[in-house]
Structure 1
């Protein structure tokens, strides 16, 4: 049986089941082959991604009446429920959605609550959930922090603005704000960069997002020497690499994808995750890409 809580929240395959067998997957209209139905086609698409990642993935399937089903799909196409069905709602607020846009909800790394009604009523706890795992305490801290690091009121206000910019369809402006926050506060630099990487992916730049995730992973590798924080760092590292892996699957240029794949495999090794299913899947894909890359180079040389 699949342990639902062990499946990362990223990525989420968004499936829309329309009238008369219409199907969208992650916002794209998807053809249904003869002899298949929309549901089996959607499951196969999710299973293909699961095989690429080397682990089950989350799926949110919305029926034509608006009912939302949360599922887990494994590499073999097995399906399990990850929660109760959500009945249709009117005017459902979707995070990271352009005003007036009716497309399917894009993937998110965390559940982002609606912004507070005013800056004075800021809920810092809700803002910190933008960062999947809080940054570990500074290496020179005399005593381990009793609670996770929290943003200052000024930083939290910036994160509120970032969320609003993302919801308005302008993630690029949010990225600029995060760059300022990251430079001003090294304490949470890695955590802020994690959020910036997600916004960069939402901005349509998977390779740049992957670079940010890999940079964060390299910093986490330096923190693994502290035995008191290793478990926390390892949990965060697995999430970061899962996001980097997903970005890698979106990179279309063969030479760039091959280069980034080598960095991803190295990051898995450095963080002690070389035998993880996702790492093995990455090595298989990288080997296949290398063969295709060398074949393409050889063909060019022959001409």
Structure 2
């Protein structure tokens, strides 16, 4: 197929972000991209985007960020054809304000967990971000998928709820992109479900990912900080055994993930006590491993 000539015909969302690091590694919307032996990371990232375009059966928009800080707006089609743009992608229109309804994903299911200071982490009412309603319900076409998540959750079947939530996240990622509020809210739902069944490693990853994306999207800060605190909480369960949850600790995995956790905690500017506690425990882990 030829390059895309009618740029305005390409929907404004999703806009995927490719980041190429100085090490040569690449990520798409914050997720590392695996490469085949001898494959260039840029090619692997574009192939990943190509798959997304193929699922949508249309071209998609991409911002490619180079190690020198430059950003290249692109349009990538399902056949791998890349069209460079001379100007940045137009900003998507802001979502209209919407009242919170029963169709909203259960991203704020109360989970009363002890923070490092011993106080419960209880989500409260969230202020609205300017121009974006993070409490907006999902579009009607995703209601059936959301009902599947909710039904399994109410029944206490967390594994089934997690599978259904992942399917919903994938569908929203394809339609809107990984950093869109719809997708990020469902990532937070998945983090909550994993936490409630004490799947600490999985919950840690999901909490970190959701907190990072919310911070970059300037989402209401209270919920972003709650996700970051709960990431810290999950990590501590990997560090040391807990009498209530014996056998769920994994110090080696905690050591592997601590640099990523500290990166997230600093990125969202979490409370100093949480950052200091994480650094202290990380030092103990390093000393025990040496």
TM-score, normalising length: structure 2 = 0.49
TM-score, normalising length: structure 1 = 0.47
